[in-house]
């Protein structure tokens, strides 16, 4: 069994993205019963989704877990829905700030993610790490790549569970900001995402 886990490069005013650092840690780990392929996606309107589709095609995964940063959140946030909307609050790393446009003009209004979201949340909480379910992945690149991933899988008729998980700031990110926000240690995030993968493995073995 093989899982694909993706993160994003830093964006905005930050030189750090926790999702990139988690992915880099996962790439060095051994999981025994399953393989983990990783990719870091550009924060770019077209190259981000293209990079994800390429990674899916090349790795042929049994499930896909995309990671991204949600500064200000205090818990691991497992998203339920990706909406067909581009409405960037800030520009991407190429300076594009798209607003009020559909991702796929002929696509459905939204896709539900296909991960066992409540089971994943409860598994993370059982390790003592705060986790929550979140309705929507927003309207920036995190939402866009999730929508485009689910649309791609639907178009290709691939029954691959897929979804998105938002991560809090790292402590060093908050230390550089003018006000305090919640943060979470990298090791804790890696444990949470590893728990997601182990839980997915058990879920897929019996499904």
Total Cβ atoms within 10 A of residue 177: 13
Which residue in 44, 66, 142, 151 is the catalytic one?
142
What is the chain's alpha carbon radius of gyration, rounded to the nearest angstrom?
16
Which residue in 44, 66, 69, 79 is the catalytic one?
79
User: Is 166 assigned a catalytic role?
Assistant: yes
DSSP for 26-85 reads: HTT---SSSEEEEEEE-SSTTHHHHHHHHHHHHH--SEEEEEEE-TT--SEEEEEEEES-
**How far apart are the C-alpha atoms of 195 and 5, rounded to whole Å?**
13
User: Is 79 assigned a catalytic role?
Assistant: yes
Please give, one letter per residue, the 3-state secondary structure of 14-39: CCCCHHHHHHHHHCCCCCCCCEEEEE
**How far apart are the C-alpha atoms of 132 and 166, rounded to whole Å?**
10
Query: Max CA-CA distance within the chain?
Result: 48
Scanning the structure block, which residue is given the tokens 């905005």?
12
User: Is 69 assigned a catalytic role?
Assistant: no
Which residue in 20, 148, 151, 166 is the catalytic one?
166
Q: Catalytic residue numbers? A: 79, 142, 166
């Amino acid at each position: 069994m093989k899982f694909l886990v993706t993160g994003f490069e830093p964006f905005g005013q930050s030189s750090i993205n926790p999702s990139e650092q988690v992915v880099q840690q996962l790439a060095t780990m051994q999981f025994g019963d399953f393989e983990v392929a990783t990719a870091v996606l550009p924060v770019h309107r077209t190259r981000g989704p293209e990079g994800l589709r390429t990674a899916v095609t090349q790795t042929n995964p049994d499930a896909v877990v995309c990671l991204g940063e949600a500064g200000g959140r205090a818990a691991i946030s497992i998203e339920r829905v990706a909406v067909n909307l581009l409405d960037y609050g800030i520009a991407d790393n190429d300076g594009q700030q798209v607003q009020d446009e559909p991702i796929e003009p002929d696509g459905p209004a939204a896709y539900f993610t296909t991960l066992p979201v409540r089971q994943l949340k409860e598994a993370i909480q059982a390790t003592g790490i705060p986790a929550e379910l979140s309705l929507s992945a927003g309207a920036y690149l995190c939402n866009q790549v999730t929508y485009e991933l689910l649309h791609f899988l639907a178009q290709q008729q691939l029954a691959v569970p897929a979804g998105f998980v938002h991560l809090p700031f790292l402590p060093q990110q908050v230390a550089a900001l003018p006000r305090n926000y919640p943060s979470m240690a990298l090791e804790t995030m890696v444990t949470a995402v590893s728990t997601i993968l182990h839980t997915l493995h058990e879920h897929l073995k019996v499904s």
